[in-house]
Amino acid sequence: MGRPKQDISVRLKRHYYDVLNPERFFGEKWPEIRKEARGIVEVENHIYPILKYTLIAVYVGTYANAIKSFKKYNKNGKICYLDATAGAGIYIGKDQKGKEWPVFGTGVIGLIMPAYGLKKLGTVKKKAPQHFDAAIFYEIDNKKRLFLQRLHKRIEDNVHIPSERKYYSDINTIDLDELGKFGCAHWLVVIDPFGAEIKWSTMQKILSLNADIIFNYMCAALRRQLPHQCKDGGAFDDFFGNSNWRSLCNYSEGVGEKLFELYKNNIEGRGYTVYHASVFGSSFDWHYHLMLILRKKYRGDHPWTRPFKEYRKYIEELDEEALYNLFTGPGLTKFM
């Protein structure tokens, strides 16, 4: 018999404290890294993104291990991680008392989660945990990209991570011939933009790879941009790949969700299944749909989506106060 399953709130905390917390990961080196991060790493006055990163981490860890064990999906070839908007690798949220909550972002999750994360969280039992074989990062901001590269070197001092790593700038210059040189049989792509940065022509290239995708669709940000785009429109035309979104220029009720449906339909129309987790900020206008974009060819339910669905259900029902209580409330010392 396996170990009894821990309550999901306990597992959520463990993900943060045991794996995703750079302060804990780097120990005495953290103050120096924090100093270096000043002006480069995003700092915001809420801790909501910890949920997003936990959900991505749960998925990435399960996924890499599952794909590696299904030979029919990876054809014994390399499985690779592509982060389209990698950031600096760390995000810092501040709670209502001003305490900082640093968390590893997508630029680090893909490297540490499949092996280090699963090992730490005790979910890999019989088999050795599996890494991605190569990791490719796009980040348009030079300072963030260089910080991320340095961070990867520091992480490498502590744990084993894929040594084949490559860093590029603008995801919209993605070159499939260049990517082909990595010899990847299978890709996991993460797209986590501020809003409409990724062009549909770029998405089409990504969708043509042998890839599954995690896309964080920033619903509230896109809705806020709509009135401006209705006057100008260039960025939205590029993002949606046509001007059908303009039919929503005179809507107000539920327009954000309608825009999202347009985008989701575009993706589904290309032979993909989309699952999504929807998270709302209750005290401020913050709302996203974290989409899993999966190729339809997998037969039956995709086995690696089970933990994502379980966490999604819990996270979607967690209001802001419950989140703060979860991470800042009593019982916390047990995890530190």
Ligand X SMILES: C[S@@+](CC[C@H](N)C(=O)[O-])C[C@H]1O[C@@H](n2cnc3c(N)ncnc32)[C@H](O)[C@@H]1O
Between the alpha carbon of residue 257 and those of residues 222, 278, 279, the distances in Å are 10, 11, 13
Nearest approach, Cβ of residue 289 and ligand X (Å): 14
Nearest approach, Cβ of residue 89 and ligand X (Å): 7
Nearest approach, Cβ of residue 86 and ligand X (Å): 6
Residue among 106 and 130 whose Cβ is closer to ligand X: 106
By the 10 Å C-beta count (0-12 exposed, 13-18 middle, 19+ buried), 275 is classed as middle
Residue among 73 and 263 whose Cβ is closer to ligand X: 263
Residue among 100 and 268 whose Cβ is closer to ligand X: 100
Query: Residue 179's CB: how many other CB atoms inside 10 A?
Result: 19
Q: Which residues contact 48 (CB under 8 A, 6 or more apart)?
A: 93, 279, 281, 286, 320, 323
Nearest approach, Cβ of residue 302 and ligand X (Å): 23
Nearest approach, Cβ of residue 128 and ligand X (Å): 27
Can you say whether the dihedral through the CA atoms of 30, 35, 41, 45 is positive or negative? Answer: positive
Element (H, E) at 12: helix 8-14
Nearest approach, Cβ of residue 142 and ligand X (Å): 10
Residue among 13 and 144 whose Cβ is closer to ligand X: 144
φ, ψ (nearest 5 deg) of residue 88: -95, -5
Strand stretches in 201-241, DSSP E = 211-217
Residue among 151 and 248 whose Cβ is closer to ligand X: 151
Q: How far apart are CA 309 and CA 302, in angstroms?
A: 11
Q: How far apart are CA 22 and CA 41, in angstroms?
A: 13
Strand stretches in 105-259, DSSP E = 134-138, 164-168, 184-191, 211-217
Are the C-beta atoms of residues 140 and 169 closer than 8 Å to each other? yes
Residue among 193 and 233 whose Cβ is closer to ligand X: 193
Q: Which residues bind ligand X (CB under 6 A)?
A: 85-87, 91, 105-107, 138-141, 144, 170-172, 192-194, 197
Q: Which tokens go with 336? A: 């530190």
Nearest approach, Cβ of residue 27 and ligand X (Å): 22
Nearest approach, Cβ of residue 69 and ligand X (Å): 27
Residue among 138 and 327 whose Cβ is closer to ligand X: 138
φ, ψ (nearest 5 deg) of residue 322: -65, -35
Residue among 106 and 225 whose Cβ is closer to ligand X: 106
Strand stretches in 129-183, DSSP E = 134-138, 164-168
Nearest approach, Cβ of residue 197 and ligand X (Å): 4
Residue among 147 and 272 whose Cβ is closer to ligand X: 147
